[in-house]
Every structure is written in C-alpha cells, then in structure tokens.
Chain A
C-alpha cells in the first residue's frame, strides 16, 4: 500500500467551476499536511498547509483535513486556466521525512 495516494488524473473542469483534489495517507500518526502546485517544467510551490481537522481557507483555495478518515483534500473555487498544473499532496510526521503523493494533473478548460 502506497503511503500517500492521489488520483493521477487528468481531472478536467470548466473555467469557473470548483476543482476538488483528493489525497489519502496510510500513517495515522501523520501530523502536518501540505499541498503543492507544480507547473510543467517548474519546481513545486507551496499552496497551503493544514495541521488540524476541519477546513482552512486562503483566497480561492480551501484545504480540508479528516484525520479519522486519513483524508485531505484541496478545493479550488472559480477555477481558472492558470490553475492547470499538477497538484502534489505531502504528509509529514514530526521528526520524520515528508512523503509526497504522485500528484493529480488538473486541466481547467476555458
């Protein structure tokens, strides 16, 4: 069983819609959770992090964490073509290395 799983996609959504990206993890002791965006040919950039159960909002982005279900998601409201990228989920347990998921490719269609 992979430690961090994501649907590889591509996930296609029309412009203006909500894009929902999902991530599951296997280590119940995981404590911090991160979403990165990676454009083709570029390095990953941090979008959001979340440590506690519930929702965390930042502009058009909302991260949702459910530790009981070992599930973290990223919602992108009012999706724009510029949001088209690969989204990486990362999980960390204090004192240990990060574990990255394989990424989900998002395509926002104009």
Chain B
C-alpha cells in the first residue's frame, strides 16, 4: 500500500515568510509525528497526534510553529515568520496505534534565505 507522503519535497522561502508543510499518513494509522532534522544532526521531535487526543506539542521550538490534523488524517505543519535557523528537513511519520513502528515519509527540505 501507499506509504507516508509529504509535500512539497523542497521549499525555498525568504526570511519572514510563512510556510505550510503537508503530511499524508498511511491509511488507518491513528498516530502521526513531526520531526525536524538539521544537517548532520539527529531527529528533533516537534509534535505528536494520537487519535482524538490532545496533541503532544512539547517539542515545538517556538510559538511560530503550529500543526493541525484534520479528520484524523492529513496534517499540516505551519511555520510563521520563518528564520534562517528553521532551514532543515521536516519529517513526518505515522504509526498504526502509536505503539507499533513508525514509518517515515520522504521529508520536506526547507531552505530559508
């Protein structure tokens, strides 16, 4: 079946602009995760959605970052007033019920000029 998809695959924006990154999880997966990975670094957890529960937003680095998940499926990560330090790969993953393995999408490479 189809895996996790993300769009766009690459995004170049100017400092101060807002960007929206999209994630389509594997069908039927109730858990969805966003991570950020800077060049040569490990995974930085951002936010975790599990079913209808309140999301775990503990990893969001600032109030410029927000995410929503509509209808328990597609998720959008929004970064407002982008800064150069936001440049990274943004990875989305999904898990069947949040206890089984996570499966990652291909990522969105964000470059803020």
Chain A interface residues (CB < 8 Å from chain B) = 31-32, 34, 42-46, 49, 88, 90, 92, 94-95, 97-98, 100-103
Interface size on B, residues (CB 8 A): 19
List residues 27-46 of chain B with CB under 8 A from any CB of chain A. 33, 42-43, 45
| One of B99, B102, B106 near A90 (C-beta < 8 A) | B102
Evaluate contact between B42 and A102: CB separation under 8 angstroms. yes
Evaluate contact between A103 and B99: CB separation under 8 angstroms. no
Evaluate contact between A103 and B104: CB separation under 8 angstroms. no
A8 to B30, CA, bound (A): 32
A95 to B95, CA, bound (A): 12
Evaluate contact between A100 and B103: CB separation under 8 angstroms. no
Q: Taking the complex as formed, is B91 at the interface, i.e. its CB lies under 8 A from any CB of chain A?
A: yes
Evaluate contact between A103 and B107: CB separation under 8 angstroms. no
